[in-house]
Amino acid sequence: MNPILCLSLLLLASGTFAYIQEGPSSLSVYALRLGPGEEIVTSLFKFVQEKKLRAPFVITCVGSVTKATLRLANSDAQNTNEIIHLKERFEIVSLVGTLNEDAHLHISLSDKDGKTIGGHAMGNLEVFTTAEIVIGELSDLQFTREMDERTGFPELVIRPRSENTTSA
Amino acid sequence: MNPILCLSLLLLASGTFAYIQEGPSSLSVYALRLGPGEEIVTSLFKFVQEKKLRAPFVITCVGSVTKATLRLANSDAQNTNEIIHLKERFEIVSLVGTLNEDAHLHISLSDKDGKTIGGHAMGNLEVFTTAEIVIGELSDLQFTREMDERTGFPELVIRPRSENTTSA
Amino acid sequence: MNPILCLSLLLLASGTFAYIQEGPSSLSVYALRLGPGEEIVTSLFKFVQEKKLRAPFVITCVGSVTKATLRLANSDAQNTNEIIHLKERFEIVSLVGTLNEDAHLHISLSDKDGKTIGGHAMGNLEVFTTAEIVIGELSDLQFTREMDERTGFPELVIRPRSENTTSA
């Protein structure tokens, strides 16, 4: 049996944890500044690959974009999520998520009236003037994505680095 | 006189600080992944208790929920804040706050049209597909909540761990 | 030639990085609690000056305000961004950004109906009951702002501390 699955079943049986958790880990931190025309998701992806980060996530992000492609929340079981392509100047008011091979990023953007729009960041986040981003990397853990039968998606799996598992 | 109160008065008198602050502290970090049907506030509360965290806070959270109970901003002095029970699929676009015995969490959620709604997270945040959460724990500090006469609520008090104060 | 410019050109030429990045750095963390009537931007600015922080940023912030002055997203090339003065009770649902001499902070606020409004935090963020803020400081880096001809604004520059550069 897969040791993570085994652990999960044990924890479920013990009634204390249903979720998967790892830590404590120490943290290394990186800071980036993107300029006009750079795309945020691609840049973060490149950065993670170049630095060979294994458990990276966004700590904070401030900036502005001229475009965004967002996948919106699911409406119901029958309908797939709508994807919208925005072409407008926005302030980034939040960027959250994890950054390993399949980044899982959600964003909220405010427009010229202060109105906010949010969803899953698919890409196309072209910087207007700047994007200042602080990235954390958990030194003792590694993130992978593995198929979760319950959701039909590859979902985050968190492991100690001491376990001999390959990460992209 | 309580040493924290004494310090606060001194700082007020010196004209430099009115707020309470502590640090620098080093940081330990934990990562969690919640699956379908798990409730976020309860899970975080359990996690903090199990790990005996004393100064924990949310660094980032990405995921989706099918429900949420939010306490909205106060409208005016006469009216208490409205509490709303949402039952709809949302993307989590921000989760902020501290996590000791009385968690103080605010959240913003985006719906199937990208529209965002936010407030104080009361609970009932049932995960739709996933919730990936990174938690920080300040190794040198401890959070408690103590009644603040100015607000009528138990508010965050931050102390060095070396002070011999109990924490839940 | 400026070494940072030189490095940027080299990186551009190599096709790997267009953005500026530095790290890894270790992190020191501070926690603050502001009380009723305190202003968030001014308080953070004072805090950074008092502690002589050189690469500070917001990790999380939870709380409520009675006022806010926000600069909204740019509408188009001809128009300058609109600045709005809000006077209403809001929950803080996100606060993101960097905090050196010219703080770059974006915020989103939710109102009595849960509706959120966001933009660049200009100040006037007067605390209603509380604001709990966790600040990170990159021990090995320093943030400055330098004019970027592409945007016409002083933009974030990130350098290792070993480089002999003054910071405010």
DSSP A61-114: EEEEEEEEEEEPPP--SSSPPPEEEEEEEEEEEEEEEE-SSS-EEEEEEE-TTS
DSSP state of B55: S
Residue among A38, A90, A110 whose CB faces C18 most closely = A38
User: Distance between CA atoms of C7 and C1, rounded to whole angstroms?
Assistant: 10
Q: What is the pLDDT of residue A100?
A: 83
The answer to whether C33 contacts B20, with C-beta atoms less than 8 Å apart, is yes
More confident residue, C23 or A162: C23
- pLDDT (mean) for A19-31: 96
Query: Of 3.30.1330.80, 3.40.50.150, 3.30.300.170, 3.20.190.10, which CATH number belongs to B27-138?
Result: 3.30.1330.80
Q: What is the pLDDT of residue A147?
A: 93
Class of C25-140 per CATH?
alpha beta
* C4 pLDDT more than 60: no
* A47 pLDDT more than 90: yes
The answer to whether B120 contacts C38, with C-beta atoms less than 8 Å apart, is no
- pLDDT (mean) for A150-159: 92
Q: What is the pLDDT of residue A5?
A: 53
Q: What is the pLDDT of residue C50?
A: 95
Question: In this structure, is the dihedral angle defined by the CA atoms of residues C116, C118, C121 and C122, taken in order, positive or negative?
Answer: negative
Structure tokens at B107: 């959240």
Q: Please report, for chain A, the start and end positions of each structural domain, with discontinuous segments joined by +.
A: 26-139
Q: What is the pLDDT of residue B168?
A: 39
Q: Residues in chain A, how many? A: 168
pLDDT band at residue B164 using 50, 70 and 90 as cut-offs: low
More confident residue, B4 or C61: C61
The answer to whether A62 contacts C116, with C-beta atoms less than 8 Å apart, is no
CA–CA distance from B4 to each of B70, B146, B153, B163, B166 (Å)? 33, 12, 18, 10, 15
Q: Give chain A's end-to-end CA distance (angstroms, integer).
A: 23
Pairs across A and C, CB distance < 8 A: 157
Q: Write out chain C residues lying below 8 Å of A60, CB-based.
A: 57-59, 96-98
- pLDDT (mean) for B30-43: 97
* B15 pLDDT more than 50: no
User: Mean pLDDT: which of A68-82, A99-113, B57-71 is highest?
Assistant: B57-71
**C94, B96 in Cβ contact below 8 A?**
yes
Nearest Cα of chain A lies from the Cα of B150 at a distance, in angstroms, of: 30
DSSP state of B18: -
Share of chain B above pLDDT 70, in %: 85
Interchain CB contact of B24 with A (< 8 Å):
no
Spell out the residues 6+ positions from residue C14 whose beta carbon is closer than 8 angstroms to its own.
Answer: none
* B114 pLDDT more than 80: yes
Of C49, C111, A112, residue with least CA distance to B75: C111
Helix (H/G/I), strand (E/B), else coil: C80 = coil
DSSP state of A6: H
pLDDT band at residue B163 using 50, 70 and 90 as cut-offs: low
Least confident of A154-158, B66-70, C45-49, C149-153: C149-153
* A57 pLDDT more than 50: yes
Q: Write out chain A residues lying below 8 Å of C146, CB-based.
A: none
More confident residue, A41 or B5: A41
C104-110 and C153-160 beta bridge pairing: unpaired
**Mutation site for C-interface testing, chosen from B80, B105, B106 by largest number of C Cβ within 10 Å:** B106
**A60, A93 in Cβ contact below 8 A?**
no
Q: What is the pLDDT of residue C11?
A: 46
- pLDDT (mean) for B93-107: 93
Q: What is the pLDDT of residue B23?
A: 94
Interchain CB contact of B154 with C (< 8 Å):
no
Spell out the residues 6+ positions from residue C146 whose beta carbon is closer than 8 angstroms to its own.
Answer: C154, C155, C157
pLDDT band at residue A14 using 50, 70 and 90 as cut-offs: very low
**C31, B138 in Cβ contact below 8 A?**
yes
Q: What is the pLDDT of residue B77?
A: 65
Spell out the residues 6+ positions from residue B21 whose beta carbon is closer than 8 angstroms to its own.
Answer: B158, C30, C31, C32, C33, C47
Q: What is the pLDDT of residue C167?
A: 44
Q: Write out chain C residues lying below 8 Å of B76, CB-based.
A: 89
* A129 pLDDT more than 80: yes
**C136, C44 in Cβ contact below 8 A?**
no
Least confident of A86-100, A105-119, C154-168: C154-168
Residue B146 C-alpha from the chain's centroid: 15
Residue among A23, A119, A136 whose CB faces B30 most closely = A23
The answer to whether A26 contacts B30, with C-beta atoms less than 8 Å apart, is no
The answer to whether B91 contacts A73, with C-beta atoms less than 8 Å apart, is yes
* C117 pLDDT more than 60: yes
- pLDDT (mean) for C66-86: 88
User: Distance between CA atoms of C86 and C79, rounded to whole angstroms?
Assistant: 21
**How much is the ipTM here?**
0.88
Q: Write out chain B residues lying below 8 Å of A88, CB-based.
A: none
Nearest Cα of chain A lies from the Cα of C129 at a distance, in angstroms, of: 22
Find residue C146's DSSP bridge partners: C155
Q: What is the pLDDT of residue A74?
A: 87
Nearest Cα of chain B lies from the Cα of A69 at a distance, in angstroms, of: 11
* A13 pLDDT more than 80: no
pLDDT band at residue B123 using 50, 70 and 90 as cut-offs: very high
Q: What is the pLDDT of residue B16?
A: 44
Torsion, Cα A16 A21 A27 A32, to 10 degrees, reads: -130
Residue among A35, A38, A132 whose CB faces C104 most closely = A132
Query: Of 3.40.50.720, 3.90.1150.10, 3.30.1490.20, 3.30.1330.80, which CATH number belongs to A26-139?
Result: 3.30.1330.80
Residue among C35, C116, C128 whose CB faces B117 most closely = C116
Q: What are phi and psi of C116, to 5 degrees?
A: -110, 150
Interchain CB contact of A12 with B (< 8 Å):
no
- pLDDT (mean) for A30-35: 98
Question: Chain-wide mean pLDDT for chain B?
Answer: 88
* B121 pLDDT more than 70: yes
Q: Write out chain C residues lying below 8 Å of A31, CB-based.
A: 21-23, 25, 55, 57, 138, 141, 143, 158
**B127, B44 in Cβ contact below 8 A?**
no
The answer to whether A92 contacts C108, with C-beta atoms less than 8 Å apart, is no
* C77 pLDDT more than 70: no
